[in-house]
Amino acid sequence: MRYRIIIFFFLLFTTLFVRAQLQQYKIEQIDSLQRLQPKPVLVFMYADWCVYCKQMRYTTFRNKELIDVLNKAFYVISFNGEQQTDVYFRGKKFGFVPTGTETGYHEVLFALGMPHREIGYPSTSFLRPDLSVIDNASGYLSAKELLAAIRKIVQ
C-alpha cells in the first residue's frame, strides 16, 4: 500500500512539472510529412552567434500557449542559416555559399522566404502546405507577436 501511495505522488508531481515540448522537424523531412498530413510550416531561421535568436529560443519558443498552437497546427523547423551541409527541399538541392574566409549563407534561406534577399537573423517564415511562402517576419518576435501572426495566417 505504501508503495502505491509513493508511486501515485511521484507520478502526480512529475506530470505537474513536465513542460510542454515544441515538436520540431528537419527541413529534409517536410516533403514527406506534407504527403502524410498537409499542414502549414513555420521556419525559424537563426545563426549560432545571434543573441536575439537565442533569446527567441529561450523565451518565445518556450511559451506554453505558443507550443500548443504550433504542435497542433504547424510543422516547425529551426534552420541554421550558416550551416555548411547540403539540404534537399522541394525536390532541389541547396548548399552553402561562402562570402568570405569564414562567412557565408545557405541558399535555402531565400527559398524559405528570407525577405528582400537580405540576410538578417532571426527570421521567421510561414509556408503553405505546398511549401510556397505565405509571409515572413524579420527580427525578434515575442510569443504574443508570433501568436498574432499565426492567427492571421490560420484564419
Phi, psi of 47 (to 5 degrees): -130, 150
User: What CATH number did the domain enclosing 144 receive?
Assistant: 3.40.30.10
Cell numbers that stand for 128 in this block? 503553405
Domain span at residue 66 reads 20-154
In a domain, 30, yes or no: yes
* Ordered DSSP codes for 68-86: HHHHHH-EEEEEETT--S-
Q: What is the mean pLDDT of each run of 10 residues along the chain (155 residues)?
A: 52 49 94 94 95 96 96 96 92 90 88 75 94 91 95 81
Q: Is residue 5 part of a domain?
A: no
Residue 1 lies in a domain: no
DSSP label of 90: T
**Alpha-carbon span 104 to 126, nearest angstrom:** 24
pLDDT at 91: 87
Q: Where are the beta strands (DSSP E) in 11-128?
A: 24-25, 41-46, 75-80, 87-89, 92-94, 96-98, 104-106, 123-127
Q: What pLDDT is stored for residue 18 in this prediction?
A: 46
Residue 130 forms part of a structural domain: yes
In a domain, 146, yes or no: yes
**Domain assignment present for 119:** yes
Number of domains in the chain: 1
pLDDT at 17: 44
| Global pTM value | 0.82
Residue 37 lies in a domain: yes
Q: What is the pLDDT of residue 117?
A: 67
pLDDT digits (tens, 9 = 90+) for 31-69: 999 999 999 999 999 999 999 999 999 999 999 999 999
State the pLDDT at residue 116. Answer: 60
Closest CA to 133 of 36, 40, 29: 40
Task: Evaluate whether residue 6 is within a structural domain.
Answer: no
Distance CA 40, CA 34 (A): 9
What's the pLDDT score for residue 103? Answer: 86
d(CA 91, CA 33): 14
